[in-house]
């Protein structure tokens, strides 16, 4: 893992980063890492159409706003469906 140093970060930016980290229950370092990763995430236009890109952005925002969603189990129920009975 690489390390970076941010020099001459304004007091306002530093306070905003600390506030965001506190709001999300993390550290400023973790918050800065998330912000960089989100900012640098590139989705190929060939991989998704415009609506797909909007969905990706919406899901990324949900992950940032509600990190506990990342722990939810979205696996499909493997129980076979039963035909409807009208008798």
Q: What is the DSSP string of the chain?
A: -------S--HHHHHHHHHHHHHHTS-HHHHHHHHHHHHH----TTTS-HHHHHHHHHHHHHHHH-GGGGG---PPP-SPPPPP---
Residue-by-residue pLDDT tens, the chain, 87 positions: 678 888 888 888 889 999 999 999 999 988 888 888 777 775 545 554 555 667 778 878 887 888 777 777 777 778 888 888 887
Predicted local distance difference test score (pLDDT) of residue 38: 78
Predicted local distance difference test score (pLDDT) of residue 52: 65
Predicted local distance difference test score (pLDDT) of residue 19: 92
């Amino acid at each position: 893992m690489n390390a970076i140093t941010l020099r001459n970060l304004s007091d306002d930016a530093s306070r905003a980063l600390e506030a965001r980290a506190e709001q999300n229950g993390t550290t400023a370092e973790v918050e800065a890492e998330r912000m960089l990763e989100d900012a640098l995430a590139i989705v190929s236009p060939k991989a998704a159409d415009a609506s797909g890109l909007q969905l990706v952005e919406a899901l990324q925002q949900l992950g940032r706003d509600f990190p506990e969603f990342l722990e939810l189990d979205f696996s499909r129920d493997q129980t076979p469906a039963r035909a409807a009975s009208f008798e």
